[in-house]
Amino acid sequence: MEKKIVRILSFVGVLVILTLTLSNSSAAAGEKYPTGTINNICLFPPGTQPDLFNRILSRSIERFLKVPVVTVNKPGGGGAIGFSALVGARPDGYTIGVGTVENMIIPTFTEGKPPYSLDDLYILGQVATIYNVLVVSADAPWKTWREFVDFAKKNPGQKYGCPGIRSTFYMRLETLNRNAKLGLIAVPFDSDVEVKTAVMGKTIPLGAWDLGSARELQAAGKVRILFIFEPPAAAGIDPKTAWLGDMEKNVVEEDIDISHCLAVHKNTPNEIKQVLKGTLQKVVKDPEFLADLKKMELMINYVDGNTVMQKKLPQRLEQVKAFHKERGWIK
């Protein structure tokens, strides 16, 4: 009798365990991504322009996915630390990251031992581009970009100021300088604040920085915007302002634009990638997100991730490597 009871209890126990297992499996299978917090890695410190962009993008993704999306700052190494963290995280869609194509590329060939491979990253999409401008003091003799270029070619060795060296912005400016045969000499400063001071103090005739602060200084009568890389109408400035599109084809094609992209680990399940890509496509059309971009002086410039990976990434890799070799930064 006791043995029979034990057998019955054992059978019941097995049924309970089996039921719980099946129940848990069904629940797990029924869970739809995402169910928890998503960490969005930022490659720069809090308060910087990339950090602010990361936060408005995180906020917008959060609105559509209905889960917290948190900015996690991992600055350093020109993007190496942040993207290494992304590659080192579980490929489950709960760690994403924002950076430029250059942020992704440069650490793979400038470090002693590459911290990751480009093949480890999957780009969900390019989102927005930073407006860059070239500026002179308000009382400078040049009223237009053409006037300044003519002056510079007749008087070789004119200087321009830019924030930092080896930065993407520096590469963009020097690429324009070379391809347009401007003959300018770069003077790197530690920050754009120093560049602005030098231009307004006439230490240098020309300076390069972002549109937002340039617009404010122009409105205050302190500087004059002569050139913008992006379409002036899209930027909301005088449509007659000279811009990159006015130049020869090779100058336009070899421009190194500064655009924010969203990426995940390449091994992230395809269904999760599709959820994130679909969400990003909604975000870039969202009026609230677009209004935030406008306040930040950023241009919406969405490009599908596959296009970025298949066309822009290999082209930019070759271009940036060549730039570094020309200057002896790599062998």
Spatial contact of 104 and 118, defined as CB atoms under 8 Å apart: yes
Question: Which of 20 and 301 is assigned the larger pLDDT?
Answer: 301
pLDDT band at 111 (very low <50, low <70, confident <90, very high): low
For residues 150 and 136, state if they share a domain.
yes
* Last residue of one domain, picked from the residues 210, 228, 246: 228
Q: How far apart are CA 151 and CA 64, in angstroms?
A: 52
Contacts of 289 (CB under 8 A, 6+ apart): 56, 57, 60, 283
pLDDT at 6 over 80: no
For residues 202 and 60, state if they share a domain.
no
Q: How far apart are CA 126 and CA 114, in angstroms?
A: 24
For residues 125 and 175, state if they share a domain.
no
CA distances to 102, 166, 234, 313 from 320, rounded to whole Å, are: 8, 10, 27, 10
* Last residue of one domain, picked from the residues 228, 245, 273: 228
For residues 63 and 106, state if they share a domain.
yes
Question: Which of 158 and 11 is assigned the larger pLDDT?
Answer: 158
pLDDT at 234 over 50: yes
pLDDT band at 8 (very low <50, low <70, confident <90, very high): very low
pLDDT at 10 over 60: no
* Per-residue confidence (pLDDT) for residue 46, from 0 to 100: 93
For residues 120 and 139, state if they share a domain.
no
Does 3 reside within a domain? Answer: no
For residues 136 and 209, state if they share a domain.
yes
For residue 84, the enclosing domain spans: 38-129+258-326
* Per-residue confidence (pLDDT) for residue 325, from 0 to 100: 93
* Per-residue confidence (pLDDT) for residue 192, from 0 to 100: 84
For residues 137 and 221, state if they share a domain.
yes
Q: How far is it between the farthest Cα atoms of the chain? A: 111
Q: Specify the CATH number for the domain of residue 216.
A: 3.40.190.10
Across the chain, mean pLDDT equals: 90
For residues 142 and 222, state if they share a domain.
yes
pLDDT band at 165 (very low <50, low <70, confident <90, very high): confident
For residues 122 and 265, state if they share a domain.
yes
Task: Report pLDDT digits (tens) over 166-186.
Answer: 788 899 999 999 999 999 999
pLDDT at 3 over 70: no
* Per-residue confidence (pLDDT) for residue 21, from 0 to 100: 38
Spatial contact of 273 and 267, defined as CB atoms under 8 Å apart: no
Q: Specify the CATH number for the domain of residue 286.
A: 3.40.190.150
End-to-end CA distance of the chain: 85
What phi and psi values does residue 285 have, to the nearest 5 degrees? Answer: -110, 0
Does 114 reside within a domain? Answer: yes
Does 306 reside within a domain? Answer: yes
Task: Report pLDDT digits (tens) over 30-69.
Answer: 479 999 999 999 999 998 889 999 999 999 999 999 999 9
pLDDT at 290 over 90: yes
Spatial contact of 40 and 52, defined as CB atoms under 8 Å apart: no
Does 54 reside within a domain? Answer: yes
Spatial contact of 97 and 82, defined as CB atoms under 8 Å apart: yes
Question: Which of 329 and 12 is assigned the larger pLDDT?
Answer: 329
For residues 286 and 137, state if they share a domain.
no
* Per-residue confidence (pLDDT) for residue 163, from 0 to 100: 85
For residues 138 and 214, state if they share a domain.
yes
For residues 104 and 146, state if they share a domain.
no
Does 250 reside within a domain? Answer: no
Q: pTM, whole model, 2 decimals? A: 0.85
pLDDT at 101 over 70: yes
